[in-house]
Amino acid sequence: MPVANVSDLVVRCPRKAVFLDRDGVINKIVYRDGKPTSPRSIGEFEFEGGVVPALKRLSAAGFSLFVVTNQPELTRGLLTKESLEMMTARIASRLAVEEIRICAHDNDAGCSCRKPEPGMLIELAHKHSLSLQDSYVVGDTWRDSCAATRAGCKSIILDRSYNHSALADWRVPNLDTAVEVICGRQG
């Protein structure tokens, strides 16, 4: 009997993934007039503490890592394409993520990619042969946990002062604790 082609095995053996929101998970939130917002320049972009070792642990545990982020500030004219590209390049150069997906649509665009819609997760699952039911979404808003539920993933919310009403499968204080939850469930 012939040995199966490696690419055939990948299709038949879906991988597990962790989808990470950007703002409030990967990088720090910027407060404007007391409201949480995304950074709008590379000067405002600052990684959350502990993000590099946390993602290394997830990768070592066998998870494929992806960043999925809504960035409507681009459409609203509050963020330049160049600034967004610089922030995305910084993430790609410092973190071991396979792909970064960005939805620049605003709330009323009706697209399938803007969280809480699951479009980015589903597209990445198809492209990278991912098992959504074995995957997690780590975010900081209800949009993240809702997209997770709609895609069939498990959801983890990082507890922040602005998201106490957001529901998820788990609510944890930080990314390191989210990693403990995810890795602890793999045993």
Give residue 180's pLDDT band: very low, low, confident or very high (50, 70, 90).
very high
C-alpha distance across the termini of the chain, in Å? 34
In a domain, 1, yes or no: no
Count: domains in the chain: 1
Q: Which domain holds residue 157?
A: 17-184
Mind listing the pLDDT tens digit for each residue in 95-124?
Answer: 999 999 999 999 888 899 999 999 999 999
pLDDT score of 22 more than 70? yes
How many Cα atoms are found within 13 Å in the side-chain-facing hemisphere of 46?
Answer: 8
Query: In this structure, is residue 148 part of a structural domain?
Result: yes
Asked if residue 134 belongs to a domain, the reply is yes
* pLDDT for the residue numbered 10: 44
Distance, CA of 138 to CA of 120 (rounded, Å): 14
Q: Locate tokens 């198809």: which residue?
A: 126
- Kindly indicate the confidence band of residue 69, based on its pLDDT and cuts at 50, 70 and 90: very high
Question: Does pLDDT of 65 surpass 60?
Answer: yes
Q: What is the CATH number of the domain that holds 22?
A: 3.40.50.1000
Q: What is the pTM (predicted TM-score) of this model?
A: 0.91
Give domain status of residue 28, yes or no. yes
Q: How far is residue 91's CA from residue 85's CA, in Å, rounded to a whole number?
A: 10
